[in-house]
Structure 1
């Protein structure tokens, strides 16, 4: 049984159909990536999995249970966390307060304390800046904070929406290294990325979206070697 299964998902914005009968699955322990140009429907799919949008048709199953009718808090409680495109950290709040927001649904205080320790070990810069206004962090530091905040909810499945957007090459390398390490420690990951080469290089499997439709799928290495993918995304 797949950890996450999306079946024939269609999502509309008003009269505009943003996603058209998309199907894919993620197995436990995988990194699966969705790649495609702006407007391909990638972020719409993530928001629908997270409960922020409701599908026009189709179904989403998580650990065998249909979740497309559930609220966003219910989905977070079930073990799915999203790092939104653009990071969306809370300005005017400290780094620590942002992390506390990620633990909002957690009830076990000892477990929350342990998670803070884990986050600060993984992201030492956040520990150093824990009393600083989150808005004053660099773009890369804000991305680490957004990831740390999502991890405070102890997700089994982490949805990453354009984590490299707007970052310097150095921070891009660091973020992808962290993604790989999180996966190796047991977190299953759905990665949404315009940086197709980077995403496919660490993904177990990938799906190529265009105008709301899955056009290609395969292992990360198969898609990296695909002439059509090379032509469209790598300029080859």
Structure 2
């Protein structure tokens, strides 16, 4: 498989706090890869650094063999990497359609924008039904769909998902994971961090376990799901394997 993203010996600091320490990982084109670990382990920092929202202290990030370390975040979007942040961050006071339009800020071709709208509305028919509704009035699950749809408007090659199921009702949690698989099936590579580690590992091709800013294990999603150490630390020993 072709490597799309490579993170080599990445370290990120918040002042004197070493949030990420020497992390190396890769994501191949067409994969779903998940990062799992306890709160505060550094997972969100890794995603935010890949997206250009945090500074690299040391190490190298490359995407399609292009160095990302000094590239502004908006240029990373133009190169195909889009972050869906934790907490959805939809824009209140703006309609669903206006929120989606903002996601296409880097796309200059109007025909591509129209095609992106068609694709998003096909994948998320509920958004089409609510296109003139204030985004703030959507349910949590609908807001998460909007946040993902907004990212897809940029025609990304890779989407970074930060806790996409957080705070959602159980019905929407399953829908979100179905959506993640559907995104991959439509040709978009996915790197996801998720509090629901068991569910994330079920759909992931590969996973990395992060502890205190360091990678302590990596394997296929299936292997990590049945690992006694992973179950004990992150999944609960009685996790149901489906």
Q: TM-score range by the shorter chain?
A: over 0.9
**Matched pairs, number:** 236
Q: Is 2:179 aligned against 1:182?
A: no
Match of 2:19 in 1: 18
Q: What is the rounded CA distance, in whole Å, between the counterparts of 1:234 and 1:157 in structure 2?
A: 27
Match of 2:124 in 1: 123
CA offsets, 1:57-98, max 9 Å, x none?
A: 000010011111100011000000110001110011111110
Q: What is the rounded CA distance, in whole Å, between the counterparts of 2:220 and 2:134 in structure 1?
A: 41
CA offsets, 1:185-224, max 9 Å, x none?
A: 1110001111110000000000000110101100001101
Q: What is the rounded CA distance, in whole Å, between the counterparts of 1:54 and 1:168 in structure 2?
A: 34
Q: What is the rounded CA distance, in whole Å, between the counterparts of 2:28 and 2:107 in structure 1?
A: 25
List runs of 5+ in structure 1 lacking aligned partners. Answer: none
Match of 1:56 in 2: 57
SS in 1 for 2:3: coil
Match of 2:33 in 1: 32
Q: What is the rounded CA distance, in whole Å, between the counterparts of 2:38 and 2:235 in structure 1?
A: 12
Match of 1:148 in 2: 149
* Aligned alpha-carbon RMSD (Å): 0.7
In the TM superposition, 1:1-236 aligns within 5 A as 1-236=2-237
TM-score using structure 1 length: 0.99
How far apart are residue 154 of structure 1 and its match? 0.3
Q: What is the rounded CA distance, in whole Å, between the counterparts of 2:71 and 2:174 in structure 1?
A: 35
TM-score using structure 2 length: 0.96
Q: What is the rounded CA distance, in whole Å, between the counterparts of 2:235 and 2:28 in structure 1?
A: 27
How far apart are residue 235 of structure 1 and its match? 1.6
How far apart are residue 155 of structure 1 and its match? 0.2
How far apart are residue 128 of structure 1 and its match? 0.6
SS in 1 for 2:165: coil
CA offsets, 1:124-163, max 9 Å, x none?
A: 1101111011000000000000000000000000100000
Q: What is the rounded CA distance, in whole Å, between the counterparts of 2:236 and 2:179 in structure 1?
A: 27
How far apart are residue 15 of structure 1 and its match? 1.0
